[in-house]
Structure 1
Amino acid sequence: MTDDELKKLESETQEKDEFVFMREEIKSRPINRKKLMRNTMVAAISAVVFGLVACVTFALLAPFVIDRISGNEKEEEVKVEPVVISFPEETVEEEMTPEDMILTSTDPAPEIPEGTQLDEEEIKALISDVKFSLDDYQSMYKTLSDVAVNAQRFIVRVTPVKDNTDIFNNAYVRESELSGVITESNETELFITTKYSMVKGSNDILVTFCNGVSARATIAAYDTTTDLCVIGVLEDDINEVTRETIRMAPLGSSTSYSIVGMPIIAVGSPLGVYRSVNYGIITSNSNKLNLTDSVYKQLYTNIYGSSSATGVLINLKGEVLGIIDTTHSVSDTRNLICAYGITELKKPLERMMNGLDTVYMGITGDDVPAAMVSTGAPEGVFVLSVEMDSPAMRAGIQSGDIIVGTPITRINKFSDYLILLRGFNQGDTETIRVFRSSQGVYKQIDLEVSFSEVKK
């Protein structure tokens, strides 16, 4: 290349360099952190709101969509109202007196046709041919056992659970065991009668039915006078199989003197052990237990049991005649099973199962003896004792007074007093009319009594 060509090339290059007088340099935009944070927060809040709206929409529409897909319309829930529990009234049976047993008819006795009379030797021969074998003995007890086994359907095991601490302040759980009797149902709860002092203060109460299925129970109501309570198990907590297995206890009658000498079976825990059984007879039902605002017949038996026995006495028909109670046993028959007569318990049990308040006046009384009436005393309720700080004591009722009712209602015996008392409610104030003896003369006194709830 010649010198002229080189000079020309340098000249062109110089011209190009002079022409590019400005270069463009692209820089990245700086990050706006505040704006980025704001946009992030807006996105997060929007996501949360969207999620909440979606959840609410799903919760509201899901039941409808499911019902539409399955083709089933939503059934309205039917609330079951508890029914009022009432035991049938007992019919008073006329008892045969010794005078009725004497033949008073003047008609001649029917003659026995000839050829049918048996002499003494023939009768002895016939009796001697009858032999009671071990099989007969076993068959008899098998029949009794069948009655006892069938009764287990209305007997339950009650297990109260209580939290306790020992002397070193260490916590432990204590479980005891007793029997209860299935008494009634109001279609929402199944009611079981049992001993109050043994379930009182429990953290939990477990009921085990005859088929081994368990359910939780709560105390529905209690009576401190008899130390009995009613515990309830929700019907919804009882499965269908158990419902078909168990049954309500049929309640008999304990008033008739004819039950004395009757064979009975003690079921539940007569020996202090669940499902123990014992056989015997009722030896007496004439003793009365005069308790606060109540009176009960006490059934005595020849059955030996535990001092902590619980359960019921049943007849050979399987009917409950009494609820076992050992707290009122006399000292010389401490281990003989006694029971409250079921007849007098029916009304208190009805009130407890129906959720009615038990009105408290606070007297122990009995019918005025006929001997006192013959000397001029009025018929009514003779006050044996008055409880401390009771409505009766605050009103001024004293031991020895005779309660004859109110200015409107007249009572002649203690059973009338119980009916009168059930007509009042807690908090009511009523004028109670009494007669008080002063120097052999009975004077009428009207006292204002304010009824309260039973002392716990």
Structure 2
Amino acid sequence: MDEEKRPSGEEHSFFKETIKDEKVDNKKILKACMKFAGKALIFGLLASIAFGVSKPWFDPSSNNQQITIEDQEQEENEKEEEQVEEDLTPQEQGEKNYQEMNRARNTVANTVFKSVVEIEGILDDEQWKSSSFEKTNVVSGLILAETGKEVLIYGRTNIAKGATSFKVTFNDNKTYVASLRNKEEVLGFGVYSVDKESMDETTINQITIPQLGNLAGVGRGDNIIVLGHPFGYSNGLGFGNVSSIKKVVSKYDGEFHVIATDVPAAENGTGFIANMEGEIIGMVDQQLSESPSMSLITGYGISDLKVRIEKLLNNISIPYVGVLGIDVTEEIEEKGIPKGIYVKNVAGDSPAMNAGIQPGDVITEVAGNPVATVSGYGAEIMKIEPGKAVKIEGLRKGAGEEYVDVTFTVEVGTKQ
């Protein structure tokens, strides 16, 4: 068979498949990814819940987890502290300031209380043993010194009458036997002693010796703290203000400033007055109050007692002459009485009486030193050792209404 000839130059054509690029749809891809991610998230959440529920059944240690309860009160306090002061109203700010002041004075009072004790006079052994014995023979005491052997406490001595023994209760509520080491009858204060060998070390370690202040820095309206036994019961605490410091009381051989306050008191209250720095500025003595003010705390200013306290702490007797006098002021001078200390009274059976000093005399010198005020006279007497003789110069009205010089030789004694 003859082969069919193809025309020259003609090319054979074959079926050619053309692959067309498909256009990419980004929205469909994003939707698919989100759908996949959502399913994965749901699966993970369900797996976590299942694991958390089933863990206590498979993990024995999880049953021993410690349970704690949050201190809601503490959380509330922390939230309150986070509040900005600028948001407080004037009334709220005032209340906040009062609360801060109250906390501050309570802190001071708690420190001073470490110096305050309760002294009880025991009238017989049965009362010592009886726990139901009513504590009526009790006064406050102030720890003022500590030696290697004893703790020395300053307080009133009116409980000593008829007492066979004493006991002292410290701030830690521990009680020890005490003795009356030294005393004076003019003001009625003394020093009690507790043997340190009988005391627990914890009691000794918590003792604080207070700072004695100065009445010169005290003014009317000053804030004060009253502590001790001023209200008729133990561990009493009161706050108030100084109402007056102008009053002065005369005692034998001296005069003493009185601190008057607006703090209510028991009739026979005892204790101490402190300032806001924790310094003792007064010794409570309700016997100094006049009838209308006996219900308010009054006390001796501490400045006038420091020399006497120091002597008692050192077991030195307080000098005593027995003269009750007043200053001769310009007004009194106009009545013809010379300058000096006018003798109002002389104590019976006293060194002054034995030396011949009489009411109406005017004292001008003690031991060669001129004196023009009762406080100056008292300061000179405090320098003299009991048992020593001293010259006291003065003036006495003569027959012709004129004052003449007189000299007395006084053997200074003590009144205990």
Alpha-carbon distance in 2 for matches of 1:332, 1:324: 17
Q: Which residue of 1 aligns with 2:380?
A: 420
Q: Which residue of 1 aligns with 2:353?
A: 393
Q: Which residue of 2 aligns with 1:163?
A: 124
Alpha-carbon distance in 2 for matches of 1:426, 1:343: 23
Q: Following superposition of structure 1 onto structure 2, how do residues 321-336 of structure 1 map, counting pairs within 5 Å?
A: 321-336=281-296
DSSP 3-state at the match of 2:187:
coil
Could you tell me which of 317, 323, 337 is aligned with 1:363?
323
**Counterpart residue identity of residue 218, structure 1:** S
Q: Which residue of 2 aligns with 1:143?
A: 104
Alpha-carbon distance in 2 for matches of 1:292, 1:269: 27
**Counterpart residue identity of residue 159, structure 1:** E
Q: Which residue of 2 aligns with 1:268?
A: 228
Q: Following superposition of structure 1 onto structure 2, how do residues 209-358 of structure 1 map, counting pairs within 5 Å?
A: 209-256=170-217, 258-358=218-318
**Counterpart residue identity of residue 435, structure 1:** L
Contact 1:163 1:174 in 2 (8 A): no
Instruction: Quickly say closer, same or farther: Cα 1:372–1:447, change in 2 above 3 A.
Output: same
The two structures have a TM-score, normalised by structure 1, of 0.66
| Superposition deviation, residue 440 in structure 1 | 4.3
Alpha-carbon distance in 2 for matches of 1:322, 1:267: 11
**Counterpart residue identity of residue 237, structure 2:** V
Aligned-residue CA RMSD (Å): 2.6
Contact 1:385 1:399 in 2 (8 A): yes
**Counterpart residue identity of residue 104, structure 2:** T
Q: Which residue of 1 aligns with 2:411?
A: 450
DSSP 3-state at the match of 2:245:
strand
DSSP 3-state at the match of 1:349:
helix
The C-alpha deviation readout for 1:7-65, integer Å capped at 9, x for no partner, is xxxxxxxxxxxxxxxxxxxxxxxxxxxxxxxxxxxxxxxxxxxxxxxxxxxxxxxxxxx
Alpha-carbon distance in 2 for matches of 1:382, 1:186: 42
| Superposition deviation, residue 220 in structure 1 | 0.9
Q: Which residue of 2 aligns with 1:188?
A: 149
Q: Which residue of 2 aligns with 1:97?
A: none
DSSP 3-state at the match of 1:131:
helix
| Superposition deviation, residue 415 in structure 1 | 2.8
Contact 2:325 2:343 in 1 (8 A): yes
Contact 1:266 1:279 in 2 (8 A): yes
Contact 2:259 2:298 in 1 (8 A): yes
Q: Following superposition of structure 1 onto structure 2, how do residues 93-112 of structure 1 map, counting pairs within 5 Å?
A: none
Could you tell me which of 413, 429, 452 is aligned with 2:389?
429
* Count of equivalent residues: 323
Alpha-carbon distance in 2 for matches of 1:164, 1:294: 39
| Superposition deviation, residue 136 in structure 1 | 4.0
| Superposition deviation, residue 430 in structure 1 | 2.8
Alpha-carbon distance in 1 for matches of 2:263, 2:342: 34
The C-alpha deviation readout for 1:321-368, integer Å capped at 9, x for no partner, is 101000121011111110011001111111111111222211111322
Bigger mean CA offset, 186-195 vs 130-139: 130-139
Structure with the greater alpha carbon radius of gyration: 2
Instruction: Quickly say closer, same or farther: Cα 1:313–1:450, change in 2 above 3 A.
Output: same
| Superposition deviation, residue 249 in structure 1 | 1.6
| Superposition deviation, residue 303 in structure 1 | 0.6
DSSP 3-state at the match of 1:355:
coil
The C-alpha deviation readout for 1:189-233, integer Å capped at 9, x for no partner, is 211111101133322211111112222111011121211111011
Alpha-carbon distance in 2 for matches of 1:233, 1:380: 44
- Structure 2: segments with no counterpart, 5+ residues: 1-85
Contact 1:286 1:298 in 2 (8 A): yes
The C-alpha deviation readout for 1:380-417, integer Å capped at 9, x for no partner, is 22212111222212222122211112473322322332
| Superposition deviation, residue 262 in structure 1 | 0.3
**Counterpart residue identity of residue 349, structure 2:** D
Q: Which residue of 2 aligns with 1:381?
A: 341
Contact 1:287 1:298 in 2 (8 A): yes
Q: Which residue of 2 aligns with 1:15?
A: none
- Structure 1: segments with no counterpart, 5+ residues: 1-125, 167-171
Contact 1:207 1:216 in 2 (8 A): yes
Alpha-carbon distance in 2 for matches of 1:164, 1:173: 11
Bigger mean CA offset, 264-273 vs 200-209: 200-209
Contact 1:164 1:174 in 2 (8 A): no
Contact 2:366 2:381 in 1 (8 A): no
DSSP 3-state at the match of 1:255:
helix
Q: Which residue of 1 aligns with 2:74?
A: none
Q: Which residue of 2 aligns with 1:51?
A: none
DSSP 3-state at the match of 2:225:
strand
Contact 2:389 2:411 in 1 (8 A): yes
Instruction: Quickly say closer, same or farther: Cα 1:211–1:173, change in 2 above 3 A.
Output: closer
| Superposition deviation, residue 378 in structure 1 | 4.2
Of all paired residues, the percent bearing the same amino acid is 25
The C-alpha deviation readout for 1:223-252, integer Å capped at 9, x for no partner, is 212111110112333333222211012110
Instruction: Quickly say closer, same or farther: Cα 1:440–1:180, change in 2 above 3 A.
Output: same
Contact 2:388 2:411 in 1 (8 A): yes
| Superposition deviation, residue 161 in structure 1 | 1.2
**Counterpart residue identity of residue 245, structure 1:** Q
The C-alpha deviation readout for 1:91-120, integer Å capped at 9, x for no partner, is xxxxxxxxxxxxxxxxxxxxxxxxxxxxxx
Q: Which residue of 1 aligns with 2:24?
A: none
Bigger mean CA offset, 444-453 vs 297-306: 444-453
Instruction: Quickly say closer, same or farther: Cα 1:406–1:183, change in 2 above 3 A.
Output: closer
Alpha-carbon distance in 1 for matches of 2:411, 2:194: 35
Could you tell me which of 160, 178, 201 is aligned with 1:199?
160
Alpha-carbon distance in 2 for matches of 1:343, 1:431: 27
Bigger mean CA offset, 383-392 vs 319-328: 383-392
Contact 1:164 1:173 in 2 (8 A): no
